[in-house]
Amino acid sequence: MPFFDFLIIGSGAAGLSTALGLSRLGQVGIVSKGRAEDSASDWAQGGIAAVMDMDHDSIALHIEDTLGAGAGLCHPEAVRQIIGRGPEAAHQLIDWGVPFDRQPDGNWHLTREGGHQARRVLHSADTTGHAIESTLLRRALAEPAVQIAEEHYASDLWLSAGRCAGAWVLAPGDDRPELWTARAVILASGGAGQLYLHTSNPLVATGDGIALAYRAGAEIANLEFIQFHPTTLYQPGSAPFLLSEALRGEGALLRLPDGSTFLEHYDLRAELAPRDIVARAIDAEMKQHHLAYVTLDISAQPGTLVQQHFPAIFAHCRAQGYDLTREPIPVVPAAHYTCGGVVVDAAGRSTIPGLYAAGEVSSTGLHGANRLASNSLLECVVGAAAIVADLEGQSHLPDRPRQLPVPSPRQVKTVVCATEITTLRQILQAGMWQAAGIIRNDQNLRAASARWNELATRIGDALCGPRSYQELRNLRQCAEILTRSALLREESRGCHFNSDHPQCRDVAADSISQRDQQGPVLRSIPGAA
């Protein structure tokens, strides 16, 4: 039975940042269900939003933009705290060796994305996530106090005397989990983009941490707010490829096949409007004109600028037969970011003692009803630092268990075979895209919610079983929470749009789901006007 001082589930930017901070406090174990670098962080293109140019930007302006994108659902104090620590977080990454781009004069090259009033996005060309992930991973692998277990999978959390004290972990090729214990457990497992048929997320984004926390009894907030990225490359039969919002920040325009623009009819900010507005506008135009896609056109900008700032995007499009510098390219929206998640306080503590969460798996109150572009990597680093500070400041953590009796996991056999698991996952993803996608309505949400309840009986609830089964189990759990929360929210706000309730309520409230409640409830936001 392995023991660590700190057990981290997930190896993206949030998990690795937390591990590097905690390594000076004790032994750190990281559970990574794939390769350590397999994470949404590694796929991030845009960058990290932080105020680095006080002559043309300010913390107050960044807060204003974040609150504006969040559509009244942000927690004001959390926004002030996280945005205020942005420059510190950016400098921490710089100190760790992340190679952010500079201008010829040595100043940081800052780009601008939708919803931002100023250039404040630090980046490394158009592969910022990879630059951050690879740098942090390299440092973690060199740290003696950090042990990374690749191809391992946490199937459930373990509580002892009401405190999270470990997790059941499946090793490669082993369908029976082993108990790994720790003084504190940190969820850093990312979001739930794989709930949807069309997503920009990697295959590992199956909502694992959210489902683990829910089954353990933690509160989950606002899971109905899924941000759909407006622009992924239209490639039927292929995995979507994200086209960074920074392209529009540098002058790219969305067009219909006849060459006409349309975003100005939906928002005065046009191409620089927040993602939910842009995604819904694209969806509306595609339906109105019976289109499979719209186009993104940056050909009016200098070709050297495009190739210099977006080398990976340019190369990928070129490999698919498109020249970004000369022609419009076909794009469609796709599920991109989970704005809700495990409820945590300012120190990253969940509602279960001993259980923390950071990054996309968490609900800090920063994103509200819609995430401001490039605030996610910021939240990862700030959240990690908050957890480290809290654990470092605790006068006493539980002692290492001695001769701990090992409880037996539920020995329920899975009732579905490998082929059926694949089929059920595809059915769930298609159903979620249809019922809980960009545009929703009550009838479709009710039908989907009933379907996910039925699916629970069909697939069972076992700690044992292969990764594919555990992912399906977690996706189904997240689908149930999401659809029930979406039904409760009889309004349209941010990236949740219900055509039966197109208006926004006067009073904003979080939707809170918890295992022992009959259903989700609405809770007023602390500090909101």
Given 334, 349, 380, the domain boundary residue is 334
SS3 state at 223: coil
| Catalytic residue list contains 275 | yes
Q: Which residues pair with 482 in a beta bridge?
A: none
SS3 state at 29: strand
Instruction: Determine the residue type at 87.
Output: P
Q: What CA–CA distance (Å, rounded) separates 147 from 225?
A: 34
Beta strands 3-9 and 178-187 are: parallel
Instruction: Choose the catalytic residue: 248, 275, 280, 451.
Output: 275
Angle at 46 between CA 116 and CA 376, to 5 degrees: 75
Same domain? For 235 and 327 the reply is yes
Question: Is-contact 221 364, C-beta < 8 A?
Answer: no
Q: What CA–CA distance (Å, rounded) separates 234 from 290?
A: 15
Same domain? For 326 and 422 the reply is no
Q: What CA–CA distance (Å, rounded) separates 43 from 202?
A: 8
502 assigned to some structural domain: yes
Which CATH number is 310's domain given? 3.90.700.10
From residue 333, alpha-carbon distances to 150, 158, 225, 275 in Å are: 32, 38, 15, 10
Q: The domain containing residue 492 runs over which residues?
A: 418-524
User: What pLDDT, on a 0 to 100 scale, did the predictor assign at position 400?
Assistant: 65
User: What pLDDT, on a 0 to 100 scale, did the predictor assign at position 202?
Assistant: 85
455 assigned to some structural domain: yes
Could you list the pLDDT tens digit for every one of the 529 residues in the chain?
789 999 999 999 999 999 999 999 999 999 999 886 665 555 556 689 999 999 999 999 999 999 999 999 999 999 999 999 999 999 999 999 999 999 999 899 998 887 899 999 999 876 787 889 899 999 999 999 999 999 999 999 999 989 999 999 999 888 788 999 999 999 999 999 999 988 888 889 999 999 999 999 999 999 999 999 899 999 877 777 889 888 998 899 999 999 999 999 999 999 988 778 899 999 899 989 999 899 999 999 999 989 988 988 999 999 999 999 999 999 999 999 999 999 999 999 999 999 999 999 999 999 999 999 899 999 999 999 999 999 998 766 777 655 455 555 554 555 678 889 999 999 999 999 999 999 999 999 999 999 999 999 999 888 888 899 999 999 999 999 999 999 999 999 999 999 999 999 999 999 999 999 999 999 999 877 6
User: What pLDDT, on a 0 to 100 scale, did the predictor assign at position 41?
Assistant: 57
User: What pLDDT, on a 0 to 100 scale, did the predictor assign at position 414?
Assistant: 58
484 assigned to some structural domain: yes
Given 296, 318, 334, the domain boundary residue is 334
User: What pLDDT, on a 0 to 100 scale, did the predictor assign at position 227?
Assistant: 93
Q: Which of these, 136, 128, 151, lies nearest to 43 by C-alpha position?
A: 128
The residue with tokens 């004290």 is 165
User: What pLDDT, on a 0 to 100 scale, did the predictor assign at position 236?
Assistant: 78
- Cα dihedral 44→102→135→116 (10° resolution): -30
SS3 state at 228: strand
Q: What CA–CA distance (Å, rounded) separates 181 from 175?
A: 19
Cα torsion 432, 436, 442, 444: sign: negative
- Residues making up the chain, counted from first to last: 529
DSSP 388-435: HHHHHH-S-PPPPPSS---PPPP-PPP-S-HHHHHHHHHHHHHHHHHH
Q: Which of these, 80, 173, 132, 181, lies nearest to 381 by C-alpha position?
A: 132
Question: Is-contact 218 212, C-beta < 8 A?
Answer: no
6 assigned to some structural domain: no
Q: What CA–CA distance (Å, rounded) separates 68 from 85?
A: 19
Same domain? For 423 and 520 the reply is yes
Chain CA centroid to CA 42, Å: 12
Question: Is-contact 228 335, C-beta < 8 A?
Answer: yes
399 assigned to some structural domain: no
Question: Is-contact 131 124, C-beta < 8 A?
Answer: yes
**Residue 468: count of CB within 10 angstroms of its CB:** 15
Paired tokens of 64: 């204003």
Give the chain's radius of gyration (CA, Å).
Answer: 22
Which CATH number is 477's domain given? 1.20.58.100
Residue partners of 318: CB distance under 8 A and separation at least 6: 324
Q: Which residues pair with 241 in a beta bridge?
A: 233
Question: Is-contact 137 19, C-beta < 8 A?
Answer: no
Q: Which residues pair with 261 in a beta bridge?
A: 255
Residue partners of 130: CB distance under 8 A and separation at least 6: 42, 43, 44, 124
Count the domains in the chain: 2
Given 334, 354, 387, the domain boundary residue is 334
356 assigned to some structural domain: no
191 assigned to some structural domain: no
User: What pLDDT, on a 0 to 100 scale, did the predictor assign at position 327?
Assistant: 95
529 assigned to some structural domain: no
Q: What CA–CA distance (Å, rounded) separates 352 from 180?
A: 18
Q: What is the pTM of this model?
A: 0.90
